[in-house]
């Protein structure tokens, strides 16, 4: 029953259960009704015969442990996971915990496969339609989140050191590590703004409001203006900004723009009730943008050309793939010393004379050389 094989990639392929039917290949799903682990072919043979068998409650095997029935699908990890693995995998770090997981419904219909087909690149069939639909759904959801995150990164203004904290969120060097936007973004807002970059930024400049762009104008409102009216106004502004497809030729600012329309309007106003995917900042019906962002510079929409943006998004995603949340040790030697240092309640303590002598003695024993005694 238990098998451990080595995969092509050199990693151990820890598929635990073989097919209960043929006992030859790794199982890919679990039938609750039959209480049996089955491979694709056996499932097709057993459950494809009649409609009653087809209605058996079957679920995928966890991609991680390959032992327990999968309970959720995580599109970010491109994997179906059992509850235990889900908890284990997605409790590692904050980013992982943000993965969108969707409960897996029982497999409906008949499997359609050859035995060699991986789960993730299934042939079309009713069985896989279910999974594909889930995957597509979750992928779509994650893409939105991904876009939101990417946009929020790109919107940030790392060079503006005076305003690096907004709504409790601090960005700057930490951001720069993952998004190399400093070179262009910071310059965009400086007095030495280049003409090209000036073109990229459009700040309520009537002369800039060309035919292919709509500059949202924040009209001053009277204080006694009804809230509902304000909200309606914001919605209208939002709509004219985002969905003026006749003029901008694009459905929204979320998408990439052709290079011909460099000056793409960005939202000056976060419409009520609509998540601001650029900033991630909460929007309420009671606060205006100016109230939320007292600094006028923060209202300046940051824009990228389509090439610029695509490139930055790609770089961001590449860096995001490789980013690690673990503490990065730059000097292993310092780590080694820190681990051997005496401590008092976690704090480094002075070395005693005996400790220094011991160190010297061990050093001589280890490599035959003495160490310069520290004072």
**Residues near DNA (CB under 7 A):** 94, 168, 327-331, 333-335, 337-339, 341, 343, 345-351, 374
Contact (CB, 8 A) for 268 and 303:
no
Least distance (Å) from DNA to the CB of residue 256? 32
Cα separation, 216 vs 288, whole angstroms: 14
Is 68 in contact with 82 (CB distance < 8 Å)? yes
First to last CA, the chain: 64
State the number of CA atoms in the 13 A half-sphere of 186 facing the CB: 15
Name which of 291 and 339 has its Cβ closer to DNA.
Answer: 339
Report yes or no: 19 and 42 within 8 Å, Cβ to Cβ: yes
Minimum distance from residue 154 beta carbon to DNA (Å): 22
Q: Say if CB 320 and CB 98 are below 8 A apart.
A: no
Q: Which lies closer to DNA via its Cβ, residue 94 or residue 103? A: 94
Around 55, how many Cα atoms within 13 Å sit in the side-chain half-sphere? 3
Please, what is the minimum distance in Å from the beta carbon of residue 281 to DNA?
14
Question: Is 103 or 168 the residue whose CB approaches DNA more closely?
Answer: 168
Closer residue to DNA, CB minimum distance, 311 or 357: 357
Please, which residue, 22 or 96, has the CB nearer to DNA?
Answer: 96
> Are the C-beta atoms of residues 362 and 356 closer than 8 Å to each other?
no
| Least distance (Å) between residue 357 CB and DNA | 12
At 366, give phi and psi (nearest 5°): -70, -50
Answer whether 107's CB lies under 8 Å from 44's CB: no
Nearer to DNA, 239 or 334 (CB): 334
In whole angstroms, the minimum distance from the beta carbon of 99 to DNA comes to 15
- Nearest partner of 289 among 202, 221, 225, judged by Cα: 221
Q: Least CB distance from residue 92 to DNA, whole Å?
A: 11
Rounded to an integer, what distance in angstroms lies between the CA atom of residue 311 and that of residue 298?
24
- Closest approach, Cβ 368 to DNA, in A, equals 16
Rounded least distance, CB 97 to DNA, Å:
8
Nearer to DNA by C-beta: 217 or 371?
371
Nearest alpha-carbon partner for 133 in 91, 158, 105: 105
Q: What is the DSSP string of 211-247?
A: TT----------TTS-HHHHHHHHHHHHHHHH--HHH
When the beta carbons of 321 and 327 are compared against DNA, the nearer one is: 327
Q: Which is nearer to DNA, 324 or 347 (CB)?
A: 347
**Cα–Cα distance for residue pair 187/177, rounded to 1 Å:** 18
The least distance separating DNA from the CB of residue 343, rounded to whole angstroms, comes to 6
Q: Judging by beta carbons within 10 Å of its beta carbon (0-12, 13-18, 19+), is residue 191 exposed, middle or buried?
A: exposed
């Amino acid at each position: 029953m238990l098998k451990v094989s080595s995969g092509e990639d050199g990693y151990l392929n820890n598929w635990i259960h073989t097919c209960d039917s043929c006992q030859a290949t790794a199982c890919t799903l679990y039938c609750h009704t039959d209480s049996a682990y089955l491979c694709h072919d056996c499932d097709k043979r057993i459950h494809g015969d009649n409609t009653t068998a087809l209605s058996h409650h079957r679920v995928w095997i966890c991609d991680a442990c390959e032992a327990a029935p999968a309970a959720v699908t995580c599109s970010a990890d491109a994997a179906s996971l059992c509850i235990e693995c889900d908890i284990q995998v997605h409790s590692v770090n904050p980013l992982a915990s943000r993965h969108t997981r969707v409960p897996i419904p029982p497999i409906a219909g008949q499997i359609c496969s050859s035995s060699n087909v991986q789960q993730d690149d299934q042939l079309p069939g009713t069985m896989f339609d279910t999974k594909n639909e889930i995957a597509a759904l979750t992928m779509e959801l994650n893409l939105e989140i991904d876009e939101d995150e990417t946009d929020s990164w790109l919107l940030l203004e790392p060079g503006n050191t005076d305003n690096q904290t907004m709504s409790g969120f601090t960005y700057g060097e930490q951001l720069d590590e993952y998004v190399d936007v400093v070179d262009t973004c910071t310059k965009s807002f400086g007095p030495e703004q280049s003409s090209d970059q000036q073109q990229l930024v459009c700040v309520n400049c009537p002369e800039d409001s060309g035919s292919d762009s709509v500059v949202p104008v924040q009209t001053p409102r009277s204080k006694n203006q009804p809230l509902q009216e304000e909200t309606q106004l914001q919605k209208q502004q939002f709509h004219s900004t985002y969905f003026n497809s006749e003029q901008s030729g694009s459905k929204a600012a979320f998408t990439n723009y052709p290079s011909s329309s460099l000056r793409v309007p960005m939202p000056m106003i976060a419409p009520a009730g609509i998540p601001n995917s650029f900033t991630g900042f909460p929007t309420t019906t009671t606060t205006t943008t100016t109230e939320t962002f007292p600094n006028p510079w923060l209202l300046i929409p940051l824009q990228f050309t389509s090439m610029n943006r695509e490139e930055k998004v790609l770089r961001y995603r590449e860096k995001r793939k490789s980013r690690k949340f673990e503490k990065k040790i730059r000097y292993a030697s310092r780590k080694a010393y820190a681990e051997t240092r005496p401590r008092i309640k976690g704090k480094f303590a002075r070395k005693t004379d005996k400790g220094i002598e011991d160190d010297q003695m061990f050093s001589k024993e280890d490599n035959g050389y003495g160490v310069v005694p520290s004072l």
